[in-house]
Amino acid sequence: MSRPHPVQVIAVTGGKGGVGKSNVSVNLGIALSQMGRRVVLLDADLGLANIDVLLGITAARNLSDVLSGECDLRDVLVNGPGGIKIVPASSGTQRMTQLSPMEHAGLINAFSELGDQVDVLIVDTAAGISESVVSFLRASQELLLVVCDEPTSITDAYALIKLMNRDYGVNRFRILANQVRNEQEGKHLFGKLTRVTERFLDVALQYVGMVPYDEAVRKAVQRQRAVLDAYPRAKASLAIKALADQVDSWPLPSSPRGHLEFFVERLVGTSA
Ligand SMILES: Nc1ncnc2c1ncn2[C@@H]1O[C@H](COP(=O)(O)OP(=O)(O)O)[C@@H](O)[C@H]1O
Ligand SMILES: [Mg+2]
């Protein structure tokens, strides 16, 4: 048997809805795929503006069919733009912490079979800090928080950081400023967030850069296309490519935490 293949699991989150999590997830996935990484995007948001809608995808099956044993994870994967594969949203993702032992074993199997065909798993989380969102965050190695320059985005990001730090001992968070005007505004926003976290929490926030506010993103959303796919030279697309370069330089998970089976085990709450 071959050694399990390390997979980088990145949760894209941020607390508030509408900050750009889904757009960042999809486009970061495409950019990494263009760099030769095999990317799977797990849509963990059942909300209205989920990835199916964003990309105009109709999914015949979803994760709940895997949980009920009706099909394999492979049958659920949908081909997305730029070579990414998508696990569509389903009610299954809302009850990951309440699986029956059968479903639990099935899910671990499903992901371990996929393990040698994926380098990066991006998890697009729902808004808020529900139990379901937290379970995905706990299971991921990298937490990428998308924030915009609005008081509610900053307070929601702070609440999420505080919860993950106090209750689960997470102390490293990656911060992406989205929908800002320029580099300076992105850094300024990061500064606002670090001022509150440094005062009250023992965490390390790492700034990974910014994606500018760009009409091309809105136009792409209207056309149900990814901006990187429809407008590859747009400012937002170039910023996402720069982000992907950074993400690609993040340390690879070291065994055994970095394997997909362990992602699922942490997800369903059997290992700490
Ligand atoms: N960099 C950006 N520039 C312009 N508009 C953006 C940008 N990022 C996101 N948006 C807009 O914000 C809306 C919400 O984005 P979305 O990715 O669905 O957020 P979330 O997943 O956090 O709820 C989208 O309709 C999109 O048009
Ligand atoms: Mg979303």
The CATH number of the domain where 205 resides is what?
3.40.50.300
Distance CA 213, CA 235 (A): 9
Residue 25 Cα: closest atom of ligand 1: 17
Please state the atom number of ligand 1 nearest to the C-alpha of residue 211. Answer: 1
Q: Is 153 in the pocket of ligand 1 (CB under 6 A)?
A: no
The verdict on residue 232 lying in a domain is yes
Does the residue 3 lie in any domain?
A: no
- Do the domain assignments include residue 1? no
Q: Is the pLDDT of residue 47 over 50?
A: yes
Alpha-carbon distance of 49 to 184, in angstroms, equals: 30
Q: Atom 6 in ligand 1: which residue has the minimum CA distance?
A: 217
pLDDT tens digits, 68-103? 778 888 888 999 999 999 988 776 566 666 777 777
Nearest ligand to the C-alpha atom of residue 26: 1
Give the CA diameter of the chain: 52
269 Cβ below 6 A of ligand 1: no
Residue 185 has pLDDT above 50, yes or no: yes
Query: Which of 217, 237, 240, 243 for a ligand 1 pocket mutation test, highest count of atoms within 8 Å of Cβ?
Result: 217
The arithmetic mean of pLDDT across residues 230-250, rounded, is 97
Ligand 2 mean position, distance from CA 251 (Å): 26
User: Of 156, 159, 164, 194, which Cα lies nearest the Cα of 11?
Assistant: 164
18 lines ligand 1 (CB under 6 A): yes
What's the confidence (pLDDT) of residue 192?
96
Q: Residue 11 contacts by C-beta under 8 Å, 6 or more apart in sequence?
A: 123, 125, 136, 137, 139, 140, 142, 143, 144
Q: Which contacts qualify for 94-101: CB closer than 8 Å, 24 or more apart?
A: 94/46, 94/132, 95/132, 96/132, 96/135, 96/136, 96/267, 96/268, 97/131, 97/132, 97/135, 97/268, 97/269, 99/67, 99/268
Ligand 2 centre distance from Cα of residue 108 (Å): 25
Question: Domain total for the chain?
Answer: 1
Rounded to the nearest whole angstrom, what is the distance from the C-alpha of residue 111 to the centroid of ligand 1?
29
Q: Are 39 and 33 in contact (CB under 8 A)?
A: yes
Please report the pLDDT score of residue 96 as a whole number: 66
Is the CB of 178 within 6 Å of ligand 1?
yes
172 lies in a domain? yes
Residue closest via CA to ligand 1's atom 15 equals 20
Which of 218, 224, 227, 243 has most ligand 1 atoms within 8 Å of CB, for mutation?
A: 218
Residues with Cβ within 8 Å of 183's Cβ and at least 6 positions away in sequence, in order, are 210
Cα-based torsion angle of the residue sequence 229, 235, 238, 239 in order, rounded to the nearest 10 degrees: -120
pLDDT bin (cut points 50, 70, 90) of residue 135 is confident
Mean pLDDT over residues 122-143, rounded? Answer: 88
Range(s) of the domain holding residue 236: 8-271
| Share above pLDDT 90 across residues of the chain, in percent, rounded to a whole number | 57
Check pLDDT > 80 for residue 272. Answer: no
Please report, as a single letter, which amino acid is at residue 237.
S
Distance from Cα 125 to the centre of ligand 2, integer Å: 7
C-alpha of residue 49 to centroid of ligand 1, in Å? 10
Whether residue 179 is contained in a domain is answered as: yes
Question: Average pLDDT of the chain?
Answer: 88
Length of the chain: 272
Q: Kindly state whether residue 265 falls inside one of the protein's structural domains.
A: yes
Which atom of ligand 1 sits closest to the CA of residue 49? 18
Element of type H or E holding 206: strand 204-212
What separation in Å is there between the alpha carbon of 13 and the centre of ligand 1?
A: 13
Helix (H) or strand (E) holding 210: strand 204-212
Residue 2 lies in a domain: no
Confirm if 243 and 42 have CB atoms less than 8 A apart.
Answer: no
Task: Report, in angstroms and rounded to the nearest whole number, the Rg of the chain calculated over CA atoms.
Answer: 17
Neighbouring C-alpha atoms within 13 Å toward the C-beta of 191: 6
CA of 16 to the centre of ligand 2 (A): 10
**Contact call for residues 84 and 26 (beta carbons, < 8 A):** yes
DSSP code string of 130-176? -HHHHHHHHH-SEEEEEE-SSHHHHHHHHHHHHHHHHHH---EEEEE
Asked whether residue 193 is domain-assigned, the answer is yes
CB 255 within 8 A of CB 5: no
At residue 157, the pLDDT reads: 97
